[in-house]
Structure 1
């Protein structure tokens, strides 16, 4: 985990996501890249050509871009002042999920703060980020002020492929955690229309032990519909600093319609959540 990306809407008055990401990058001796995305002019053009409206709009957008580029030195100073060994600053114009889909190709992890009043802050937009950015994401609750910590990591486990991928991606964090708590729900049966009828066995405890993690098991007795509530309650009960979980174990449509665990956790988590689809 050597390239960490953090998105920030603010310039100069840096968001909690920057503080959290700086602590993470300093811990892993990683490069921290700050990203600010300016609104594309095409999305803000009025439907009519009133005199001066388009010209004024373009001037406002150019001024915003100038401010964004000028904030690079401040971001780098903020990051290096927090112990980050290497920092960089990127400015793009467009729609945030589309920008992340490109820049995520050369990053290891994205840190993102949920901001309810931003166009991308809705659950559908966040789902697009998680599904298209191509890298794991730590989602911070709105206004989260706690410093980065690995005192206790909670792992959401139901045996699904998404859970395996999320835990695999989070191994650098798990290895450094003081406590690793496995929140073990009911295994979900997997169905396939392929001809493969035998699947390799996977022992999550053996897997984590061979990666140096001492795991505490905490069974969750809950229905699938209430899994998100149970996960957050258990993480809070044990004082977890971070929850690791797979995203969208069923189809995205059914998760949205049925109010699945992913959606509930995104909407209600009070701690950072590490997700990977």
Structure 2
């Protein structure tokens, strides 16, 4: 398990960007890590212009929305003047923004991203599949912050969703610093080939104990049919302040297909989710 020494937080013009940056500063302080804030949005395109013969003309991009950049920069400056740990500001304004962000993320131990808020119009400058593509394309673990509710850098109750997959294993390893600091760790498993009358695979609690995480409460297995909603319900019932899970999906020709539980959690979560692909 490598320590967290490099954090990358995504900034945009949304109202929730400040909460992401604040949490990233808290994590950087706790881990004594280098923090980079990356302003990354897609350029605006004017409407298509009709041409004779019915072939539309695609105009050049209109550039980055200046108000959204100013809002993100003001958020960054407020944190700096408030005495937050040192943070580097970088910008990506090329197209495609997802590829550029994922390349930068390759050299980071942990990403801090934001759940898409369908009610915030400024979020339209960020591609709708930005979070999942950043996680899948970079292969780096990410802490995804919900657009509503509170987020803490030191969760006291953590819910771990386990499947016998590399995605789940990577998420569990990335979550170890959070799990060591938690007072309660809840474990729930999902596997379409599992015997649902049995407890969690013995190797998972044993692995956690090897890392100093002794008290793990196990719950009944999730059903594959509705694992995402069951996981969110369990998070609410246990008072979890963080969910740990794999991010499942594949990208082909810029088209992303997510696993059902991943999609449900990213759309409906109200607590941070630490995900890895």
* Pairing 1:91-240 to 2, within 5 Å after superposition: 91-94=91-94, 95-115=96-116, 116=118, 117=121, 118-119=123-124, 120=126, 122=128, 124-186=129-191, 188=193, 203-240=203-240
Q: For the residues of structure 2 that align with 1:87 and 1:180, how far apart are their CA atoms?
A: 31
Between the two proteins, the alignment pairs up a number of residues equal to 252
Q: 1:221 to 1:34 in 2, by over 3 A?
A: same
**Alpha carbons 2:192, 2:223 under 8 Å: kept:** no
Partner of 1:26 in structure 2? 29
Q: For the residues of structure 2 that align with 1:230 and 1:161, how far apart are their CA atoms?
A: 22
**Alpha carbons 1:157, 1:245 under 8 Å: kept:** yes
Partner of 1:192 in structure 2? none
Partner of 1:4 in structure 2? 7
Partner of 2:197 in structure 1? none
Kindly report the root-mean-square deviation, in angstroms, between the aligned alpha carbons of the 2 structures: 3.5
Tell me, which stretches of 5 or more residues in structure 2 are unaligned? Answer: 51-58, 195-200
Q: For the residues of structure 2 that align with 1:34 and 1:263, how far apart are their CA atoms?
A: 26
C-alpha displacement of 1:218: 2.3
Q: Give the secondary structure class of the aligned counterpart of 1:44.
A: coil
**Alpha carbons 1:16, 1:144 under 8 Å: kept:** no
Further displaced range: 148-157 or 262-271: 148-157
C-alpha displacement of 1:9: 1.2
Q: 1:251 to 1:188 in 2, by over 3 A?
A: farther
Q: 1:64 to 1:29 in 2, by over 3 A?
A: same
Further displaced range: 150-159 or 237-246: 150-159
TM-score scaled by length of structure 2: 0.76
**Alpha carbons 2:20, 2:112 under 8 Å: kept:** yes
**Alpha carbons 1:140, 1:273 under 8 Å: kept:** yes
Q: 1:89 to 1:144 in 2, by over 3 A?
A: farther
**Alpha carbons 1:4, 1:109 under 8 Å: kept:** yes
C-alpha displacement of 1:12: 10
**Alpha carbons 2:157, 2:184 under 8 Å: kept:** yes
Q: Give the secondary structure class of the aligned counterpart of 2:244.
A: strand
**Alpha carbons 2:142, 2:276 under 8 Å: kept:** yes
**Alpha carbons 2:28, 2:35 under 8 Å: kept:** yes
Partner of 1:39 in structure 2? 42
Q: 1:83 to 1:61 in 2, by over 3 A?
A: closer
Q: For the residues of structure 1 that align with 2:152 and 2:267, how far apart are their CA atoms?
A: 21
C-alpha displacement of 1:232: 1.2
Q: Give the secondary structure class of the aligned counterpart of 2:106.
A: helix
Q: 1:65 to 1:141 in 2, by over 3 A?
A: closer
Partner of 2:264 in structure 1? 264
Partner of 2:20 in structure 1? 17
Q: 1:153 to 1:66 in 2, by over 3 A?
A: closer
